[in-house]
Chain A
Amino acid sequence: MTGLDGEIGTEEEGMSAHSPCKNLPSFSSSAEKEQLQVEVELKLLEALEIYPLVKLCGIHRHFVLFGLTEYLQRSLKRQFSPSEVLQLLDRFYNLDMLEPEYEDIELLNQEEDFCLPRSFFVKEELLNSTTIGGI
């Protein structure tokens, strides 16, 4: 089920039949839908200012994609799935050509022994952390 890279197969939640985004590849050519399409593309380009393309490869890519998806959802006020967002991006960019940033590579080269922060060992501090699942 999960490969080496840990990609879990997506399971699309039942989305509203009215959402044009769901059928992106098989778009009809009606003017309205085209307009929406342009809107989506513009928002996507806007989103890339915050979530740079280069971060979409490398170890953080899933979280970056998550952020991108949420951005689109918020600005366009409708559901998007991460795979749709990837599809959208794929129209503009050759995602396969992306290479991880230097920082990413550096991180993986800096081996370090694990250690627990001291706060874990101070009883008082352990007791203070009573909020379970707090934000």
Chain B
Amino acid sequence: MFLLIFCRLHTRYHELAPNLVPMDYTNDPDCKVPIQLIINMPELMENPFKERIVESFSEAGDGNLSFNDFVDMFSVLSEMAPRELKAIYAFKIYDFNTDNFICKSDLEQTLNKLTREELTPEEVNLVCEKVIEEADLDGDGKLAFADFENMISRAPDFLR
């Protein structure tokens, strides 16, 4: 059954770039599908965070995924992945400047992506301040992973 899923995943991966992706992995080829092709997959296309998701799973952080990274991404996104793992990766995705904190600018970018830039800057500012006020437990003005995890464990919308 796992083999079946694995083969199906590879078929999808191959479909993204048939000229690039080999069918034969005995020589352990090092091929990566560029980010532009991956974010156009129908599963990811409507997601406002598609670039961040793909970047988080790529080795170099540039969004080009090898097949292993591709499998990693879908294994974490699947519903059988444990919630803690999803929380770790969610934190990484929302951390736009990859400094291991979700600071106010990260939150602003997240909000703009979610609302497709339909809020005014004052509203965005207000929301980000409120979020940090509520979730920041140690008072440094940023969300660390523990703050983030504490906040999302209280939100039933998340991690479904």
A in complex with B: no
